């Protein structure tokens, strides 16, 4: 059984500061925020990568992730001025946790650069 840090948070084995939860997704505050608002949108069911969604026929969940990002951005007050939604995929993409997730960042002017 897969047991990365996000799976442990979802199971309640590790604490997190949740801002949203439904049957498919959990949204938590990042413990190492890179902006005033830095949230992680995490599928409840373990998915390692985008490839998992393609293989399992769960493409509608990807759309739901975007809807949740929009909803939570409004909930936390960053929608009006804008925000950034990022997904790191694979070693070269900077993925650190082997569980697909999205970063929702905002609360300040983030600027045009995505990489240093």
Burial class (CB in 10 A: 0-12, 13-18, 19+), 5: middle
Q: How many whole angstroms separate alpha carbon 69 and alpha carbon 77? A: 12
Burial class (CB in 10 A: 0-12, 13-18, 19+), 41: buried
| Bridge partners, 22 (sequence order) | none
- Identify the active-site residue in 47, 99, 101, 103: 101
Q: Is 101 a catalytic residue?
A: yes
Asked whether 41 and 83 are in contact (CB, 8 A), the reply is no
First to last CA, the chain: 36
Tell me the catalytic residues.
101
């Amino acid at each position: 059984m897969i047991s990365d840090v996000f799976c442990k948070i979802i199971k309640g084995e590790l604490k997190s500061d949740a801002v949203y939860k439904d049957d498919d997704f959990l949204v938590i505050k990042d413990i190492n925020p890179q902006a005033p608002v830095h949230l992680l949108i995490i599928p409840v069911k373990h998915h390692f990568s985008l490839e998992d969604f393609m293989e399992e026929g769960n493409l509608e969940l990807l759309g739901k992730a975007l809807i949740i990002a929009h909803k939570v951005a409004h909930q936390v007050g960053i929608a009006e001025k804008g925000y950034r939604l990022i997904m790191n995929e694979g070693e070269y993409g900077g993925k650190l946790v082997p569980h697909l997730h999205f970063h929702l960042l905002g609360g300040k002017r983030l600027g045009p650069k995505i990489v240093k």
